[in-house]
Structure 1
Amino acid sequence: MSSNNRGKVIRGDARAVVYKVIQYFEEEKKSKKYLPKSHSNLRAALATGLSHSTISKIRKEGKLAERSQTEIKTPSKGNRGRNNTRAPIDIVILCKIREVIASLYDIHQLPTTAKIRERVYQEINVKLSQTTLRRTLKHKLGFRFVQCSQNRKALLESDNIKAWRVKYLRQIKNNDALKGNKWLVIYLGETFIHVPCQKRIKGKKNILKKCFIIHAGSEEGFLKGAEYFYTSDRQEIASSDYLNYVKDVLIPNLPENCIIVIDNSSCHNFELNNAPTSVDSKDSIKKWMVDNYIPFEEEWTKVEMILHIQKNLPKKTYALDELLSKNGHEVIRLPPYNYDLNPIERIWVIVKDKLNKLSTDLDINNVEEFVMKAINSVTVQEWKEQLNIVKTTEKKYWLREVLREDEFEQFFMTLGTNGDVDFLSENSSSDESMQEIEYLDESFDESCF
């Protein structure tokens, strides 16, 4: 390998490593203490500030480059972390994290990242890094760290999400109370898989297509005829495509008087009668305000009108809800981040597991066939099992947030939360400082739900 690097620009990160090496040798010179040559990897790690494993890896890459008379290359994004043993964050892990947080609050302990990681590892044998857990708590579960008194932090959800969840639970509870006259609850959901456009060719990078699957199901299993499969270059399902699915596929296969449970995905949220914005003309804004019975003064500027509209927005109406309502069905929307209340999310895990067992060589030509085989192999019993898990979760939420509301309110008051939101700055010292509070026992009465 050529050692002539004259004229080559050394980038900032490489210059920083070189400077660390210089500092290391200067320190060796001052102390007159040298590690033996047999410890070359350790010396390199100390000199560069890199880990011992990274040094070993670079050494192997360097020897390979010398033999092939090439340069050491930067690893591609696809190869980074190839040996990472951490599992991807799927629905099972998300539900387990939420379950662990709830169980800690049930015994009046503050959930910390250390406790959550330990419990998740003990119960489902999944290792989560602290950074991954914090990112998951914020972006996928909607939690935040709030500063409390005595240098403690509480992991909390927003009041909007909690209120939304109680409203949802009350709607489901009221329907269950009808017993023999209750409406059938249909859970609507979608998922996707990536498949190559053609069979794998050695040495060539495959172009992946996104295959979307939409389906619905209940305690009676998947709804017959309600499946919809298509491939697209889009990253998400378009609202127009979803509306067409509901109109042409779902509704014709629905029995009378159903409750349709959907999540908060963007494809479900196509709004009717959108409020105007500053890009609209002043005349169109005036017309919209008249049509929606919002009073205004003629001398107002456009900015004043927009601000007034924002303070007096009418209730949102969604095209999906209107379409199903006209056909005699009711739509109930799941609270954000509550994957644990949607059994079809768990069913998708089962479908993908069956799909992996059916074929390890999927491509664009055979994927639909294997997907349908996997879906058709899901039994009514498997649906009931997942629905029972969801029903148990609903009862726990109802107990915690409705029946034991005063108890938990008192518990949170003792924490002295001041409302300062801090998503990512929780550290190990705050984990250690969080004190446990004595548990006030209360029996669980399922008849209350």
Structure 2
Amino acid sequence: MGYKWQKCHNKRRILVERPAVIYARSVYLREIRRIELTDTSSSNRLILVHAGSRAGFLNSGNLLFKASTATGDYHRQMNQTNFEKWTTEMLIPNLPPPSVVVMDNATYHSVQENKVPTKCSTKPVMLEWLLKNNVEASILMRKDELFRLIEIHKPKEKTFKIDEYVKSHGHIVVRLPSYMCDLNPIELAWAKIKRIVRGHHINSDLSLIKLREVTELAISQVTEEDWRGFDDHVIVLEEHYWQRDGLIEDAVDRFLSLRSAMTVMIVTPILPYL
């Protein structure tokens, strides 16, 4: 879940957040701060897709459709096709440019553009990628040779299809770091909508039409004032994480430095006797 055990100088272990998670959060916070400073249970199930900002939910940005199953992880039913359709038909036409789109790393958000082959890819796939990227390669070459070329010419960062599409319309995309859904204000909006729906005493025989009516009513009751509160809450969290990560980074470095110093102190006296 993003944590690991780290040995200290006294041989005890402390539970610390994985550096990769801290790094990803730091990158996200730095980018979102830069942008801000630059001023720029029924048997029926519904899946809701929406976008919002300090001004409230995006006008005409609401996609509400029936889940195909009422049990299991129905979140998986939101797929790339549905998400891209919503983005092209509802999000982009109603999004005032330039906007900052904060997006998590759900599978349907993360279809790669120009996906880089791996060592396990077939030879034709490797060749196709190399030729598509204007790298000379031959069918006579072995896979290890092809993969070396791929490693040399692959882009430094992954590019995602949906990010490039949104950027092409004059917007900025910022990806949430893993395990950090609390940095997304819309999670607070979802929580309020669910509370309102539950308050209508939903039961198993509620019709889909009625469930839709209740859900749309709940959406309408999430006000602009609510959204400002959600956004302010996240801004406080961003500052908290930014300050805390800096303190933890320094503390861990001190632990590691102390451990190194203790090692030197123990080893040095016996060196003359070797």
TM-score normalized with structure 1 length: 0.51
Post-superposition offset of 1:290: 2.8
Distance in 1, matches of 2:93 and 2:104, equals 21
Larger relative contact order (Cα-Cα within 8 Å, sequence gap ≥ 6): 2
User: Which residue in the other structure is 2:128 paired with?
Assistant: 287
Q: Is the partner of 2:208 in helix, strand or coil? A: coil
Q: Is the partner of 1:382 in helix, strand or coil? A: helix
User: Which residue in the other structure is 1:395 paired with?
Assistant: 239
Identity %: 28
Which of 195, 214, 217 is the equivalent residue of 1:373?
Answer: 217
Distance in 2, matches of 1:357 and 1:283, equals 57
Farther-moved stretch of structure 1 (156-165 vs 391-400): 156-165
Which of 88, 94, 102 is the equivalent residue of 1:247?
Answer: 88
User: Which residue in the other structure is 1:153 paired with?
Assistant: 13
Distance in 1, matches of 2:22 and 2:144, equals 34
User: Which residue in the other structure is 1:316 paired with?
Assistant: 158
Identify if the C-alpha distance between structure 1 residues 150 and 412 changes in structure 2 by more than 3 Å, giving closer, same or farther: closer
- Tell me, which stretches of 5 or more residues in structure 2 are unaligned? 261-274
Identify if the C-alpha distance between structure 1 residues 279 and 350 changes in structure 2 by more than 3 Å, giving closer, same or farther: same
User: Which residue in the other structure is 2:29 paired with?
Assistant: 169
Alignment of 1:49-448 (within 5 A): 138=1, 142-178=2-38, 182-183=39-40, 195-197=42-44, 210-233=45-68, 235=74, 236=76, 237-276=78-117, 282-294=123-135, 299-306=140-147, 308-310=149-151, 312-314=153-155, 315-361=157-203, 362-402=206-246, 404=247, 407-413=250-256, 416=259
Distance in 2, matches of 1:291 and 1:416, equals 50
Q: Structure 1: which amino acid aligns with 2:42?
A: V
Post-superposition offset of 1:359: 3.6
Q: Is the partner of 2:59 in helix, strand or coil? A: coil
Distance in 1, matches of 2:195 and 2:152, equals 48
Q: Is the partner of 2:5 in helix, strand or coil? A: strand
What per-residue deviation string (whole Å, max 9, x for no partner) do you get for residues 92-122 of structure 1? xxxxxxxxxxxxxxxxxxxxxxxxxxxxxxx
Identify if the C-alpha distance between structure 1 residues 284 and 334 changes in structure 2 by more than 3 Å, giving closer, same or farther: closer
Which structure would you say has the larger Rg? 1
Q: Structure 1: which amino acid aligns with 2:23?
A: A
Contact 1:358 1:374 in 2 (8 A): no
- Tell me, which stretches of 5 or more residues in structure 1 are unaligned? 1-137, 184-193, 198-209, 418-449
Distance in 2, matches of 1:245 and 1:415, equals 54
Contact 1:195 1:211 in 2 (8 A): no
Identify if the C-alpha distance between structure 1 residues 147 and 365 changes in structure 2 by more than 3 Å, giving closer, same or farther: farther
Post-superposition offset of 1:264: 1.0
Identify if the C-alpha distance between structure 1 residues 366 and 277 changes in structure 2 by more than 3 Å, giving closer, same or farther: same
Post-superposition offset of 1:415: 7.4
Q: Structure 2: which amino acid aligns with 1:408?
A: A
**Number of aligned residue pairs:** 251
TM-score normalized with structure 2 length: 0.80
Distance in 1, matches of 2:134 and 2:17, equals 35
Distance in 2, matches of 1:211 and 1:303, equals 48
Q: Structure 2: which amino acid aligns with 1:169?
A: L
Distance in 2, matches of 1:310 and 1:412, equals 36
Question: Which stretches of structure 1, 4 residues or more, deviate above 6 A after TM superposition?
Answer: none
